[in-house]
Amino acid sequence: MPLNAAWHKAHPMPKNATLDERVAWHLAHSAACNCRPMPNSIVAELARRRTALASSGETRKD
């Protein structure tokens, strides 16, 4: 998918973003633009969170 310049302009990555902010930004970016793959650090964090959620017995509430 090509770069969605309008989305990027409207949704800049916060300065000094926390891990939670980075994860949220990359998830939104993937849905809206997906001009490049997620960084490995974000992919690893998402996997870690899924594992932690599954281990806790919680279910997603979408």
Is 62 inside a domain boundary? no
pLDDT of residue 34: 78
Per-residue model confidence (pLDDT) at position 1: 65
Answer yes or no: is 23 within a domain.
yes
**H/E segment holding residue 31:** helix 19-32
In a structure prediction context, what are the per-residue pLDDT tens digits for the chain, which is 62 residues long?
689 999 999 999 999 999 999 999 999 999 999 799 999 999 999 999 998 888 887 665 65
When divided into structural domains, the chain yields a total of: 1
Position 61 in a domain: no
What pLDDT is stored for residue 26 in this prediction?
Answer: 96
Position 43, amino acid:
V
Report the predicted TM-score, pTM, of the whole model to 2 decimal places.
0.80
pLDDT for 54? 86
Domain boundaries, position 47: 5-56
What per-residue string of b and e applies to 19-54 under the rule 16 or more CB within 10 Å gives b? eeebbebbeebeeebeeeebeeebeebeeeeeeeee
